[in-house]
């Protein structure tokens, strides 16, 4: 049971990975960010953040065996440290907590793992410190932390505009989709993939491609969306990591309905028609990439799973 009063001994918040079902990218704006028209879809690969009271700040990270714990940055520029500091400063409280992140979301994988951690830590510390931050403030802090962080608070199927931080729920939130996820041994830097996009699409329009048809069909049977998945960062990611073409080809050979690079990559995701189909495709992809996972979506955004 979740107690409603008294200071908690610990709070655990779970936040999901994302896929972009559509990622339309425009020419860079004056501030260097790229205008996006994107359909975010939260899938059931999670990072859990547990926070406990402390008289100082401590951050510890544990990772699933298929992830490289040394790839997680732990310094003061870590998005979780920035999230805690922003929330503490808003309320004038010290940023003191013992924070443990258990990661399942690929690091630098194009699945917004850092954004998930930031959203989770905002929700967890808000509860631990008894702050009762308004939704408006939470979303403002989230947008300040990163383009994908507001989505990580929301989960579900979401239309993202602006640089991705302007979020609006779209249909299909109750229609389950099945995915096979192939991780890569080494992550890709998001800014590097955007830079490659700029080099490869020097004549890109300032207006990103819109996902009108996809949004219209989001609640329809899976065949309706199979041909509508799209990622403008796929070609730049493939240019930086040509071996990902083999991963996409292997997914097609294994019988996936569609495959694409997730966000800025290098994770590749494959749409399937059912849990059984996904398990079959995953078996066909055995040995491809670093690790093969099956997950469904859409799932909830950052939410409390334990309050002790």
> Is 103 part of the annotated catalytic residue set?
no
Count residues contacting ligand C5P (CB under 6 A)? Answer: 11
What would the two tokens of residue 263 be? 């966000």
CB of 192 to ligand C5P, least distance (A): 9
Nearer to ligand C5P, 164 or 172 (CB): 164
Within 10 angstroms of residue 171's Cβ, the number of other Cβ atoms is 14
Q: For ligand C5P, which residue of 178, 194, 217, 270 counts as binding (CB under 6 A)?
A: 194
- Closest among 160, 149, 127 to 83, alpha carbons compared: 149
Beta-bridge partner residues of 38: 23, 160
> What is the per-residue binding string for ligand C5P in 155-184, x denoting contact by CB under 6 A?
--------xx--------------------
Rounded Cα distance, 268 and 73, in Å:
23
Q: Which stretch binds ligand C5P (CB under 6 A): 88-96, 146-154, 254-262, 287-295?
A: 146-154
Q: Among the options 47, 48, 148, 232, which is catalytic? A: 148
Nearer to ligand C5P, 106 or 172 (CB): 106
Q: Which stretch binds ligand C5P (CB under 6 A): 28-36, 98-106, 128-136, 214-222?
A: 28-36
Rounded Cα distance, 213 and 172, in Å:
13
Q: Which stretch binds ligand C5P (CB under 6 A): 99-107, 142-150, 228-236, 272-280?
A: 142-150
Q: Which stretch binds ligand C5P (CB under 6 A): 122-130, 145-153, 251-259, 268-276?
A: 145-153
286-291-296 Cα angle (round to 5): 90
> Is 148 part of the annotated catalytic residue set?
yes
Q: For ligand C5P, which residue of 11, 15, 17, 36 counts as binding (CB under 6 A)?
A: 36
156 contacts: CB under 8 Å, gap ≥ 6: 42, 169, 173, 298, 299, 300, 301
CB of 194 to ligand C5P, least distance (A): 4
CB of 146 to ligand C5P, least distance (A): 4
Within 10 angstroms of residue 305's Cβ, the number of other Cβ atoms is 12
Q: For ligand C5P, which residue of 44, 110, 146, 284 counts as binding (CB under 6 A)?
A: 146
* Contact criterion met (CB below 8 Å) for 19 and 151: no
Q: For ligand C5P, which residue of 47, 117, 126, 148 counts as binding (CB under 6 A)?
A: 148
Asked if 34 interacts with ligand C5P (CB under 6 A), we say: yes
Nearer to ligand C5P, 18 or 127 (CB): 18
- ω into residue 228 within 30 of 0, thus cis? no
* Contact criterion met (CB below 8 Å) for 68 and 107: yes
Asked if 82 interacts with ligand C5P (CB under 6 A), we say: no
Task: List, in sequence order, the alpha helices (H) in the chain.
Answer: 79-91, 113-128, 135-145, 149-154, 190-200, 212-217, 223-226, 234-240, 244-253, 275-284
CA atoms within 13 A on the CB side of 253: 11
Q: Interface residues with ligand C5P (CB under 6 A)?
A: 33-34, 36, 146-148, 163-164, 190-191, 194
Q: Which residues are catalytic?
A: 18, 148
């Amino acid at each position: 049971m979740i107690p409603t009063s008294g200071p908690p001994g610990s709070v655990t918040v779970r936040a999901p990975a994302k896929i972009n079902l559509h990622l339309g990218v425009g020419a860079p704006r004056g501030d260097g960010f790229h205008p996006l028209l994107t359909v975010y879809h939260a899938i059931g690969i999670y990072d859990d953040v547990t926070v406990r009271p402390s008289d100082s700040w401590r951050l510890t990270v544990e990772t699933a065996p298929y992830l490289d714990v040394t790839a997680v940055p732990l310094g003061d520029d870590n998005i979780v440290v920035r999230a805690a500091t922003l929330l503490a400063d808003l309320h004038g409280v010290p940023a003191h907590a013992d924070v443990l992140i258990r990661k399942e979301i690929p690091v630098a994988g194009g699945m917004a793992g850092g954004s998930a951690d930031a959203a989770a830590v905002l929700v967890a510390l808000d509860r631990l410190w008894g702050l009762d931050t308004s939704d408006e403030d939470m979303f403002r802090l989230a947008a300040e932390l990163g383009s994908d962080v507001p989505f990580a608070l929301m989960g579900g199927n979401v239309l993202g505009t602006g640089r991705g931080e302007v979020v609006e729920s779209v249909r299909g939130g109750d229609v389950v989709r099945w995915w096979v996820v192939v991780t890569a041994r080494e992550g890709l830097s998001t800014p590097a993939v955007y830079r490659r996009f700029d080099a490869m699409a020097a004549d890109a329009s300032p207006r990103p491609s819109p996902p009108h048809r996809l949004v219209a069909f989001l609640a329809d049977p899976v065949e309706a969306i199979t041909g509508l998945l799209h990622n403008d960062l796929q070609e730049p990611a493939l240019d930086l990591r040509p071996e990902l073409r083999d991963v996409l080809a292997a997914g097609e050979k294994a019988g996936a309905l569609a495959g694409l690079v997730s966000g800025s990559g290098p994770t590749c995701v494959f749409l399937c028609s059912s849990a059984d189909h996904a398990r079959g495709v995953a078996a066909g992809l055995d040995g491809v990439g670093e690790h093969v996972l099956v997950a469904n979506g859409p799932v909830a955004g950052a939410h409390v799973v334990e309050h002790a």
